[in-house]
């Protein structure tokens, strides 16, 4: 899957050292992977970009110098103990603190169990439901295979809010089966556009480090998965090697947990409401120089559109931000200009 997408790319993606000044360690990786690694740093120590980079993005601030030492330390641990696999990461020790906790806190040791977090990767668990049965129930829950086949695409409008709070903006989505998708958030600083044309993907935003960011590797696989799940008639083919974990709970509701692997090695975990069969969450991963970069999408407010249930509300969270989307209208099976799925123009401030 990934090889085919990369072969279809229009040009070689820009590398980190080409886009930024004073890159010393994380060289030779695409810009989107570099930014994913930056997001992992931010999530691990609970700091924003400016806390390390201000006032000059290229300057060697004390925290940047320390971060380079940490990169070398983590890489040495993984190389020496795990054959180079990204087993240890910044999150392993920091967990949203700039200084890792050393001494156990007994209130935590003897307190309520901490929130359950699933393993990034898992195998079929004994006693877990059959993945085929869970996926078949999902297809029936959204309307059935015949109705899904008749839904060739849709256009939606609504609103988006940053971090689930303020900065409300107009939102548009364009979907064409089987795997084309564009979302546009009309922000004050300029449109934020994410596009997957069936082979290639891009992100254009006023706050991205380059005007139009080429999606590569796991981020490209993730954009493809988002597009294919927008009309999920081919959900079984979207990933392979399906396996199930034991049922868990999200917000007090039991969910079946499936994981699949793409042809290029990308992994995603899907959560289906046990009662309704509907998809409630997707967590997908992109590999980076510093470990797996997660993206989590939570779905709710399913409504029928041309006989197919589509989520009218979702939250899209990654290591550097969170958008909440609420659709107000959806038009099924309308003609969509092919230009909607072309590489977007750079965001222009309004």
Summarize pLDDT for 32-57 with one digit per residue, the tens. 999 999 999 999 999 888 888 888 88
Containing 282, the helix (H) or strand (E) segment is: strand 279-288
Q: Please tell me the predicted confidence (pLDDT) of residue 254.
A: 95
Looking at the chain, the whole-number percentage of residues with pLDDT higher than 70 is 94
pTM comes to 0.91
Q: Is there a contact between 118 and 257 (Cβ–Cβ < 8 Å)?
A: yes
pLDDT for residue 300: 97
51-84 per-position pLDDT tens digit: 888 888 889 999 999 999 999 999 999 999 999 9
Give 261's strand partners.
240, 267
| Residue 227 and residue 196 in contact, taking contact as beta carbons nearer than 8 Å | yes
Asked if residues 302 and 309 have their Cβ atoms less than 8 Å apart, the reply is: yes
Please, what's the b/e burial string for 7-41 (b: 16 or more CB within 10 A of its CB; e: otherwise)? eeeeeebbbbbebbeebeebeebbbbbbbbbbbbb
With beta carbons less than 8 A apart as the criterion, state whether 321 and 162 touch: yes
CB 260 within 8 A of CB 241: yes
pLDDT of residue 347: 81
CA distance 89 to 137: 37
Chain-wide mean pLDDT for the chain?
Answer: 91
């Amino acid at each position: 899957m990934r090889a085919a997408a990369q072969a279809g790319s229009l040009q070689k993606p820009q590398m980190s050292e080409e886009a930024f000044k004073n890159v010393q360690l994380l060289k030779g990786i695409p810009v989107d992977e570099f930014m994913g690694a930056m997001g992992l740093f931010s999530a691990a120590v609970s700091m924003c970009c400016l806390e390390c980079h201000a006032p000059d993005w290229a300057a060697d601030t004390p925290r940047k110098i320390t971060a380079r030492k940490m990169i070398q330390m983590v890489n040495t641990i993984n190389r020496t103990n795990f054959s180079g696999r990204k087993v240890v990461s910044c999150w392993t020790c920091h967990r949203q603190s700039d200084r890792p906790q050393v001494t156990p806190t007994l209130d935590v040791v003897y307190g309520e169990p901490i929130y359950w977090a699933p393993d990034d990767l898992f195998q079929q668990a004994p006693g877990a439901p059959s993945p085929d049965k869970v996926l078949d129930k999902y297809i029936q829950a959204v309307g059935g295979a015949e109705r899904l086949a008749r839904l060739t695409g849709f256009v939606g409008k609504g609103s988006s809010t940053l971090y689930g709070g303020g900065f409300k903006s107009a939102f548009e989505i364009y979907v064409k089966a089987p795997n084309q998708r564009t979302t546009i958030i009309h922000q004050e600083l300029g449109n934020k556009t994410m596009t997957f044309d069936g082979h290639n993907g891009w992100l254009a935003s006023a706050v991205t480090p380059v005007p139009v960011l080429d999606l590569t590797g796991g981020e490209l696989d993730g954009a493809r998965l988002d597009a294919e799940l927008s009309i999920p008639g081919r959900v079984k083919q979207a990933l392979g090697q399906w396996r199930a974990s034991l049922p868990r709970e999200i917000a007090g509701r039991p969910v079946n947990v499936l994981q699949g692997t793409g042809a290029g090695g990308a992994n995603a975990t899907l959560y289906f409401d046990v009662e309704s069969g509907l998809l409630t969450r997707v967590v997908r991963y992109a590999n980076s120089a510093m470990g797996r970069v997660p993206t989590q999408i939570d779905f709710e407010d399913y409504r029928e559109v041309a006989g197919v249930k589509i989520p009218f509300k979702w939250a899209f969270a990654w290591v550097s931000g969170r958008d909440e989307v609420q659709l107000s209208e959806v038009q099924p099976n309308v003609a969509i200009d092919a230009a909607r799925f072309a590489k977007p123009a750079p965001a222009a401030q309004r």
